[in-house]
Amino acid sequence: MSFSPLSLSRRHVLGDLYPKCELLTENVPVYLLGDENELLGHADEGLGKFADAITFHLADDVCKRISAGHYTYQFDLEHGAEPGRVIIRTIFLKARKPYEKPLPSRASAS
């Protein structure tokens, strides 16, 4: 299994938390959310202070699924030093529900 980094915009990953979230100062573990919460790798902001991106260090197949939008993000948060600020302690990837085809509409026999 080969690992390759995937960098995504902080705003894309954090969504509504973007303006409230402190910078990632250390490696944050990334888990696949489920019954066992499998550890997949880690994430950081290794591109530098002004890059405004989160880099995921995960297996290639997981990175492909993240970039294709197969996961949503959930976070384990801690309150920051300033009021209203948060620090991310853990990132969880939650699989999206598969798309369900709509049922065909039936014509009324009236």
Distance CA 63, CA 85 (A): 28
pLDDT at position 3:
72
Site of tokens 């888990």: 31
Whose CA is closest to 14, among 24, 26, 6?
24
Q: In the numeric block, which tokens belong to residue 11?
A: 């705003």
pLDDT at position 40:
94
Can you list the residues of the chain whose pLDDT is less than 50?
110
What's the predicted TM-score (pTM) here?
A: 0.82
Q: What is the DSSP string of 2-39?
A: -EEEEEEEHHHHHGGGGGGBPP--S-EEEEE-SSS-EE
Average pLDDT, the chain: 88
The residues, ordered by sequence, that sit 6+ positions from 57 with a Cβ below 8 Å of its Cβ are 3, 5, 41, 42, 43, 44
Distance CA 59, CA 2 (A): 6
